[in-house]
Chain A
Amino acid sequence: MKKIDLTTHVLIPKHSKLGDKDKEEMLKRYNVSLKGLPKILVSDAGISHLSARPGDVIEIVRDSPTAGKAFFYRVVVDE
């Protein structure tokens, strides 16, 4: 069967891994710890190309009809 690259699909928003510095900055900006962030599974198909490890923070940029671009952050978890 043909393998599909999910990241190019229109319905899948852009996922990217935050660097250490960006991650610190983002946690500080929202005054939140990793525990307070929404989660995403390591096994999630949307981040399989990012080689993310538990504890990493994924930035998701969605198109929004009212805000233009909407930013969302998720912490990678194991379980």
Chain B
Amino acid sequence: MEDSYVYKRVGSVSFAVLSPKLIKKMAAAKVVTPELYDKEGYPVDGGLMDVRLGVIDPGLRCKTCGSRLKECIGHFGYISLARPVIHLSYVNVVLSLLRTTCRDCSRILLPDSKIQQLGGKGVKRSRIKDSIASSKTGNKCPHCKARQYKITVEKPTTFFENERRISPIEIRSRLEKIPDADAEAFGLNVGAVRPEWMVLTVFPIPPVTMRPSITLETGERSEDDLTHKLGDIVRINQRLFENINAGAPEIIVEDLWDLLQYHITTFFDNDVAQLPPARHRSGQPLKTISERIRSKEGRIRHNLVGKRTNFSARTVISPDPMLELNEVGVPEIMALKLTVPERVTEWNMEYLKNFVKNGPKKYPGANYVIRPDGKKKKLTEDIIEATLEEMQPGYVVERHLMDGDKAIFNRQPSLHRMSMMCHNIRVLPYKTLRLNPAVCFPYNADFDGDEMNLHIPQTEESRAEAEHLMLVQTQLISPRYGLSVIGCVQDAISGNYLLTREDFSMPRHAAVDMLSSIGVSELSRLPKRESVSGKEIFSALLPADFDFVGKSRSSAEPEVVIKGGKLVSGVMDKNNLGEGSGLMLRNIHKKYGEAFAVDFLGKLFRLGVSVLIRRGFTTTIADTDLPDEAHDSISKIFADAEVEVQELVSQFNANSLDTFPGRTARETLELKILELLTRARNDTGHVVAKFANRDSHTLIMANSGARGNLLNLAQIAGSVGQQALRGKRIEKGFKNRTLSYFKPNDLGSEAHGFIRSCFKSGLKPAEFFFQAMVGRDSLMDTALRTPKSGYLYRRLSNAMQDLRVEYDGTVRDASGRIIQFAYGEDGVDVSKSEGGTINVSRIISKVK
């Protein structure tokens, strides 16, 4: 079955070095002149654009193969170099060959017995080198007893023996003399690679098809960078040849020879560290062979690995909590361009004709019709009538995107599989892609201008695959830590927190109104009383047989108990609602399935938001206002801390400070002060938390875990605290002091970046300066770290991409080698576990 698709199978791939003979054999023309075109604009025979090297002009036929443009893949030419030249890529090989072979007889500098002992064939060059270095023969060839000299290379391509330059001619003659048997000892397959081929005597001219010239509007021709480079090579080669024939002085010949070496080197790689890059007249460096291949814009990453795709869209995203989690809002303009092919049958003929009737401009219409013979027709106003007439089963209509179609939604960087999920489409007005804010977390998206991509699967198979493997609900449980990656965020957490607190209640009719507005229609479980409590409203979402015990963040009601689908006690906060925390969502997913879980999450989210809509929610600086009493106790904390710091400093000055083991007195002082001041700031945090109004919205957000924490509150109302650069108090600045505002050698807290003020009261100038220092440092730090860690991740994921868990539980690479004997040491599929472990006691109680 598989064989029927195989057109030609690759039997083997072998790598070799081109021999001069092969270069000549595969050449269609010998290039003798750097000229390109004659006066009539026709390519010169024996020039770089010789017609025998391929066609790049429409209408012409190739002189070599007779085929036309695009049919002819081009043909190599060659030039004979007047003097041999080292090939840049083989400098290291040539160097180690020269070092390990005799300068006289070209044998390996080891006795035959020793070569045999090393393996005789295919030995690593470094091992031969080590072996020579450790052998006792010193610098005498064991075969011909000739004395050996030290060979060095001056990058990129100049070789020296005992400070005397050795020419490529000499190098080549030495390499030539290496016997086949010795070359094979190095692991060179002599049939494919003779060492002397690494020194070029003839040079292949690539076909014109890989360096096409372009014609500008002015009629002028602009040549490819490679052609320019080849022109240089041919020109210099010719001059060198003429000079040698004319018997020019050796210096001139050598200069030209070096120049030829330079041009050939930069032809291969124009980015060699020691060479100035060859440039255009405009000063911009030429793009030669290696620049074409390597790096992100090179052939491999840009053209081979980086494919582009049709049926995709990209634009700015914005939130819409009224969408389901597994939906994506698609702007109508996009829906008019993106299409889904649908095959016409007897049964859907009328249905599909409606799309064709609407045409490409009216939604929902169709853009293309494909006839059974495969001909694709673009629908335009004038052919709609005719198309409707001829439509019959077997035709395919490419209709506009509609509600319920599947799409793959993606945000870069696609770091894990949840970065690409399948969503159901909802066609909406306006111009942004919309998603439920709860799925921001797996995509790591926010709405400060983020853009996302949308891909529309085009076949039944791909749609089915996307739906079953990639739909949002199939991705709910993270394969990294085994908990829900999707949970409530921001307002949804504050809302549910407020709702489930002890004091919340509302009239039943208002509760019914709210519940039905979020899509809950099953209200029988809402108690039939005038007034219902928040916990009862929340319970209306839960399944009737759900039991759960968990912990909340609150210290007043630390235990969350759900019994028989009723929230008996506890508040819902980030611990149970948030992504990646708590087992409530995990248990619901496990017990009621993914479809229920995703629906439940959507309702939960909307419930939280609607509570806030009905109740009102805001935040203000006044939320963090403290009574005088609190200010007094904060002042006292810092006064005490200041006294203690002074105490430490005077102890230090008096040399009576107890030093920590392995630290100097100064380091100990720093550590103690840092610890002291951190503690003082934390203490203010507790004071703020104690005195601040628990019902103020800022505190509700902090307590529920929706946004902000105690530290933020302490910084706003209490004290900003110690600013640290590289884990230490600030020490930079002037000699013996941080700012000229302080006395020299002041070791006090203030002089080293402790900010006593809070954001609300404002910072003193020196404090502000310290804060700016640390702020800038952390900004730089993030800016520099992001690309670094991104590249690190790329290397890791590329190295591990073909590892997989086999059916026997082992982790193996592509060639079947074992990496781990049981996945993750314990063989647990984390995405089927609860937080990475298997709940054995529950399984037992279930089996009973």
Residue of B819, B824, B825 near A38 (CB, 8 A) is B819
Of chain A, the residue at the smallest CB distance from B816 is A36
Interface size on A, residues (CB 8 A): 15
Given contacts A30-B808, A30-B810, A66-B836, contact A38 B818 (CB under 8 A): yes
Q: Which of B796-848 contact A (CB under 8 A)?
A: 808, 810, 812, 815-819, 821-822, 824-828, 836-837
Q: Which of A48-74 contact B (CB under 8 A)?
A: 62, 64, 66-67, 70-73
**What separation, in Å, do the CA atoms of A72 and B828 have in the docked complex?**
16
Mask of A9-39 contacts with B, CB within 8 angstroms, 1/0: 0000000000000000000001110011110
Whether the Cβ atoms of A31 and B808 lie closer than 8 Å is yes
Taking A30-B821, A66-B825 as given, write out 8 further A-B residue pairs in contact, using a Cβ cutoff of 8 Å, ordered by the A residue number: A30-B818, A35-B817, A36-B817, A37-B818, A64-B825, A66-B826, A67-B825, A72-B821
**What separation, in Å, do the CA atoms of A40 and B808 have in the docked complex?**
23
**What separation, in Å, do the CA atoms of A36 and B819 have in the docked complex?**
9
Give chain B residues whose Cβ lies under 8 Å from the Cβ of A38: 817-819
**What separation, in Å, do the CA atoms of A72 and B826 have in the docked complex?**
11
Can you list 8 A-B contacts (CB < 8 A)?
A: A30-B818, A35-B817, A37-B817, A38-B817, A64-B826, A66-B824, A67-B825, A70-B826
Of chain B, the residue at the smallest CB distance from A35 is B817
Interface size on B, residues (CB 8 A): 17
**What separation, in Å, do the CA atoms of A67 and B821 have in the docked complex?**
12
Give chain A residues whose Cβ lies under 8 Å from the Cβ of B812: 36
Whether the Cβ atoms of B828 and A66 lie closer than 8 Å is yes
Whether the Cβ atoms of A67 and B826 lie closer than 8 Å is yes
**What separation, in Å, do the CA atoms of A52 and B812 have in the docked complex?**
25
List the 5 closest pairs (A to B, CB-CB), nearest first: A67-B826, A70-B825, A66-B826, A64-B825, A36-B817
**What separation, in Å, do the CA atoms of A56 and B810 have in the docked complex?**
21
Residue of A36, A64, A66, A67 near B818 (CB, 8 A) is A36
Whether the Cβ atoms of A32 and B818 lie closer than 8 Å is yes
A58 CB → nearest B CB, Å: 13
**What separation, in Å, do the CA atoms of A39 and B828 have in the docked complex?**
25
Whether the Cβ atoms of B821 and A73 lie closer than 8 Å is yes
A30 CB → nearest B CB, Å: 6
A23 CB → nearest B CB, Å: 14
Of chain A, the residue at the smallest CB distance from B809 is A30
Of chain A, the residue at the smallest CB distance from B817 is A36
**What separation, in Å, do the CA atoms of A72 and B836 have in the docked complex?**
21
Whether the Cβ atoms of B837 and A66 lie closer than 8 Å is yes
**What separation, in Å, do the CA atoms of A50 and B827 have in the docked complex?**
29
**What separation, in Å, do the CA atoms of A67 and B815 have in the docked complex?**
27
Q: Which of B264-306 contact A (CB under 8 A)?
A: none
Whether the Cβ atoms of B818 and A70 lie closer than 8 Å is no
**What separation, in Å, do the CA atoms of A62 and B824 have in the docked complex?**
12
Whether the Cβ atoms of B822 and A67 lie closer than 8 Å is yes
**What separation, in Å, do the CA atoms of A47 and B822 have in the docked complex?**
23
**What separation, in Å, do the CA atoms of A70 and B820 have in the docked complex?**
10
Of chain B, the residue at the smallest CB distance from A66 is B826
Give chain A residues whose Cβ lies under 8 Å from the Cβ of B825: 62, 64, 66-67, 70
Of chain B, the residue at the smallest CB distance from A70 is B825
A1 CB → nearest B CB, Å: 22
Of chain B, the residue at the smallest CB distance from A32 is B818
Give chain B residues whose Cβ lies under 8 Å from the Cβ of A64: 825-826
Given contacts A31-B808, A72-B821, contact A67 B816 (CB under 8 A): no
**What separation, in Å, do the CA atoms of A67 and B822 have in the docked complex?**
10
Given contacts A66-B836, A72-B821, contact A32 B826 (CB under 8 A): no
Of chain B, the residue at the smallest CB distance from A37 is B818
Whether the Cβ atoms of B837 and A32 lie closer than 8 Å is no
Chain A CB count within 10 A is highest, among B812, B817, B821, for B821
**What separation, in Å, do the CA atoms of A64 and B836 have in the docked complex?**
13
Give chain B residues whose Cβ lies under 8 Å from the Cβ of A37: 817-818
Give chain A residues whose Cβ lies under 8 Å from the Cβ of B808: 30-31
Give chain A residues whose Cβ lies under 8 Å from the Cβ of B837: 66
B821 CB → nearest A CB, Å: 6
Whether the Cβ atoms of B810 and A67 lie closer than 8 Å is no
B128 CB → nearest A CB, Å: 15
Whether the Cβ atoms of B817 and A70 lie closer than 8 Å is no
Residue of A32, A62, A66, A72 near B816 (CB, 8 A) is A32
Of chain A, the residue at the smallest CB distance from B838 is A66
Give chain B residues whose Cβ lies under 8 Å from the Cβ of A72: 821
Give chain B residues whose Cβ lies under 8 Å from the Cβ of A30: 808, 810, 818, 821
Give chain A residues whose Cβ lies under 8 Å from the Cβ of B822: 67, 70-71
Mask of B352-386 contacts with A, CB within 8 angstroms, 1/0: 00000000000000000000000000000000000
Chain B CB count within 10 A is highest, among A31, A62, A73, for A31
**What separation, in Å, do the CA atoms of A43 and B815 have in the docked complex?**
27
Whether the Cβ atoms of A71 and B827 lie closer than 8 Å is no
Give chain B residues whose Cβ lies under 8 Å from the Cβ of A31: 808
Of chain A, the residue at the smallest CB distance from B833 is A66
Give chain A residues whose Cβ lies under 8 Å from the Cβ of B810: 30
B221 CB → nearest A CB, Å: 57
**What separation, in Å, do the CA atoms of A67 and B812 have in the docked complex?**
20
Give chain A residues whose Cβ lies under 8 Å from the Cβ of B818: 30, 32, 36-38, 73
A27 CB → nearest B CB, Å: 11
Of chain B, the residue at the smallest CB distance from A67 is B826
**What separation, in Å, do the CA atoms of A9 and B154 have in the docked complex?**
50
Of chain A, the residue at the smallest CB distance from B825 is A70
Whether the Cβ atoms of A67 and B827 lie closer than 8 Å is yes
**What separation, in Å, do the CA atoms of A64 and B817 have in the docked complex?**
23
**What separation, in Å, do the CA atoms of A37 and B810 have in the docked complex?**
11
Give chain A residues whose Cβ lies under 8 Å from the Cβ of B827: 67
A40 CB → nearest B CB, Å: 13
B178 CB → nearest A CB, Å: 26
Give chain A residues whose Cβ lies under 8 Å from the Cβ of B828: 66
**What separation, in Å, do the CA atoms of A70 and B825 have in the docked complex?**
6
B417 CB → nearest A CB, Å: 23
A11 CB → nearest B CB, Å: 16
Give chain A residues whose Cβ lies under 8 Å from the Cβ of B826: 64, 66-67, 70
Give chain B residues whose Cβ lies under 8 Å from the Cβ of A35: 817
**What separation, in Å, do the CA atoms of A64 and B823 have in the docked complex?**
12
Of chain B, the residue at the smallest CB distance from A60 is B821
Of chain A, the residue at the smallest CB distance from B124 is A79
Give chain B residues whose Cβ lies under 8 Å from the Cβ of A62: 825
Give chain B residues whose Cβ lies under 8 Å from the Cβ of A73: 818, 821
**What separation, in Å, do the CA atoms of A72 and B823 have in the docked complex?**
11
A37 CB → nearest B CB, Å: 6
**What separation, in Å, do the CA atoms of A33 and B828 have in the docked complex?**
25
**What separation, in Å, do the CA atoms of A5 and B815 have in the docked complex?**
38
**What separation, in Å, do the CA atoms of A36 and B815 have in the docked complex?**
8
B75 CB → nearest A CB, Å: 44
A43 CB → nearest B CB, Å: 16
Q: Which of B766-822 contact A (CB under 8 A)?
A: 808, 810, 812, 815-819, 821-822
A25 CB → nearest B CB, Å: 14
B824 CB → nearest A CB, Å: 8
**What separation, in Å, do the CA atoms of A49 and B279 have in the docked complex?**
63
A32 CB → nearest B CB, Å: 6
A74 CB → nearest B CB, Å: 10
**What separation, in Å, do the CA atoms of A66 and B836 have in the docked complex?**
9
**What separation, in Å, do the CA atoms of A31 and B818 have in the docked complex?**
10
**What separation, in Å, do the CA atoms of A33 and B433 have in the docked complex?**
53
**What separation, in Å, do the CA atoms of A72 and B825 have in the docked complex?**
9
A71 CB → nearest B CB, Å: 6
A61 CB → nearest B CB, Å: 11
B830 CB → nearest A CB, Å: 10
Given contacts A31-B808, A66-B826, A66-B837, contact A71 B817 (CB under 8 A): no
Chain A CB count within 10 A is highest, among B815, B825, B826, for B825
A79 CB → nearest B CB, Å: 9
B204 CB → nearest A CB, Å: 38
A44 CB → nearest B CB, Å: 18
Q: Which of B664-711 contact A (CB under 8 A)?
A: none
**What separation, in Å, do the CA atoms of A71 and B818 have in the docked complex?**
13
Give chain B residues whose Cβ lies under 8 Å from the Cβ of A71: 821-822
Mask of B298-330 contacts with A, CB within 8 angstroms, 1/0: 000000000000000000000000000000000
